[in-house]
Structure 1
Amino acid sequence: MSLNYQDQLHVLKDILADHQFDCCGSVAEYEQLERLIKSLMVNADIDQNVKNILSDIYSYSQTGRNIKNVNDHVLAHQDQLTNWIDSIDQYS
């Protein structure tokens, strides 16, 4: 069973909220973010503002997947995590 647009946004938001709350993330979570974002980006019905946010989150996940200190990466992006979560709430 594939996830619909709303489900994908919900999972995306949950992962970001976990990063924000726990101040850490795993390689598997970053990879999941990337898969979700790739799937969402090909959806023609998605607003361009959402695509811009998804692009930023994708960059965050790529860096996080390859960084040595994941905790510092998450801590450095606390404000962005808040903004991304709030923005996803607006569009979901």
Structure 2
Amino acid sequence: MPIQYHDQVSLLKDILSEHQSECCGTVAECEQLERVIKSLMANSSTGQNVKGVLEDIYFYSQSGKNSASLDQHIESHQDQLSQWIQDIDTFS
């Protein structure tokens, strides 16, 4: 059973918040971000303003899972993580 839009947004925010507060993460979390974002992008109720943020987060997760040091990748994106979390609050 697929999770609902609001739950997907909450999951997205939870993972990003954990990356932001812990400065570490896993490849599995990056892959989960990608799956949730793909689903949100395909959802007709996802606004165009939201899709730009989702594309940025998708690129972040792809770069992270392919980086030599995921923790360093997360640490170098602290400002963006904070901004994305704020952005998600505006559309959740």
Instruction: State the TM-score, normalized to the length of structure 1.
Output: 0.97
Long gaps (5+) in structure 1: none
Offset, 1:25? 1.1
Residue 20 of structure 1 corresponds to 20
Instruction: State the AA in 1 paired with 2:85.
Output: I
Instruction: State the AA in 1 paired with 2:72.
Output: D
Residue 46 of structure 1 corresponds to 46
Which runs of at least 4 in structure 1 moved beyond 2 Å after TM superposition?
none
Query: C-alpha separation between the residues in 2 aligned to 1:32 and 1:70?
Result: 15
Per-residue CA deviations over 1:34-89 (Å, capped at 9, x if unaligned) read 00000000011111111000000000000001101111101110000000000000
Long gaps (5+) in structure 2: none
Q: Considering only aligned residues, what root-mean-square deviation do their CA atoms show, in Å?
A: 0.6
Query: C-alpha separation between the residues in 2 aligned to 1:13 and 1:68?
Result: 24
Residue 71 of structure 1 corresponds to 71
Offset, 1:15? 0.1
Is 1:82 aligned to 2:77, yes or no? no
Deviates more, 1:41-50 or 1:51-60: 41-50
Query: C-alpha separation between the residues in 2 aligned to 1:2 and 1:27?
Result: 22
State the identity as a percent.
57
Instruction: State the TM-score, normalized to the length of structure 2.
Output: 0.97
